[in-house]
Chains A and B, each alone.
Chain A
Amino acid sequence: AQKVTQAQTEISVVEKEDVTLDCVYETRDTTYYLFWYKQPPSGELVFLIRRNSFDEQNEISGRYSWNFQKSTSSFNFTITASQVVDSAVYFCALSGRPGAQKLVFGQGTRLTINP
């Protein structure tokens, strides 16, 4: 069975602080994909990144970076110099084996950036 755990239910920081959102996953598939989505107050989930299980390179996109570690089954997301617009609920998700189309989502982390 596949499972995604986001242990941090809520995080609150002051603007310009760095913040890391944790994601731990479980799967028996050797090929799988990991995702991060952002859900702003408007409600619509916005895709941020996809990683496949064979690519353990960390990725940086502007203030966002992702750290994928197969050894610890983690796919953590860091926001550097946070801004108020980063306030949202963030979801980590997993899909297994090539062709599998279903996503398993974590519980989500509500991030609040205070001015």
Chain B
Amino acid sequence: DVKVTQSSRYLVKRTGEKVFLECVQDMDHENMFWYRQDPGLGLRLIYFSYDVKMKEKGDIPEGYSVSREKKERFSLILESASTNQTSMYLCASSPRTSAGNEQFFGPGTRLTVL
């Protein structure tokens, strides 16, 4: 059974803290993605990675950075958390092929920044 796991389901942090969200997939997928989900806005892409040590900005990268040191792991970093980063964060992965591939999602991390 394919699986994408995220380190926490719920997280509460204080303004200014450095926050790490971890995502691990066991499907040997090349592509990994970080989204945030907000009511009325759907899913918005923060960053994605096509390969180890590769990263590209998505639609809303400001205030975030990422790290992909191993193929199976993709980390999202909030350097200095702010209240407007309170949201649901979803990680996904997909194989790299020529066709449009569905992405496999983790259960999400609901982050609250106080």
Contact = CB atoms under 8 A, between A and B. Distances in A.
Contact of B108 (A32, A43, A103, A108): A43
A56 B107 CA distance: 32
A50 B104 CA distance: 13
B101 to A, nearest CB: 7
Contacts of A47: 102-104
B12 interface: no
Interface in A3-24: 4, 6, 9
A93 B104 CA distance: 13
B103 A103 contact: yes
Contacts of A108: 42-43
B100 A107 contact: no
B98 A45 contact: no
B94 interface: yes
Range of interface residues on chain B?
20 to 34
Interface in A29-56: 32-33, 35, 37, 42-47, 50, 52
Contacts of B43: 91, 93, 103, 105, 108
Q: Which of A9, A42, A107 has the most CB of B within 10 A?
A: A107
A102 B99 contact: no
Interface in A44-95: 44-47, 50, 52, 91, 93, 95
B42 A33 contact: no
A32 B103 CA distance: 15
Contact of B40 (A9, A43, A44, A98): A9
Nearest to A97: B100
Contact of B99 (A37, A44, A93, A98): A98
Nearest to B108: A43
Q: Which of B42, B96, B97, B110 has the most CB of A within 10 A?
A: B42
Nearest to A99: B98
B48 interface: yes
Interface of A: 4, 6, 9, 32-33, 35, 37, 42-47, 50, 52, 91, 93, 95, 98-103, 105-108
Q: Which 8 A-B pairs have the closest CB atoms?
A: A33-B100, A45-B105, A105-B43, A43-B108, A107-B42, A47-B102, A105-B42, A95-B100
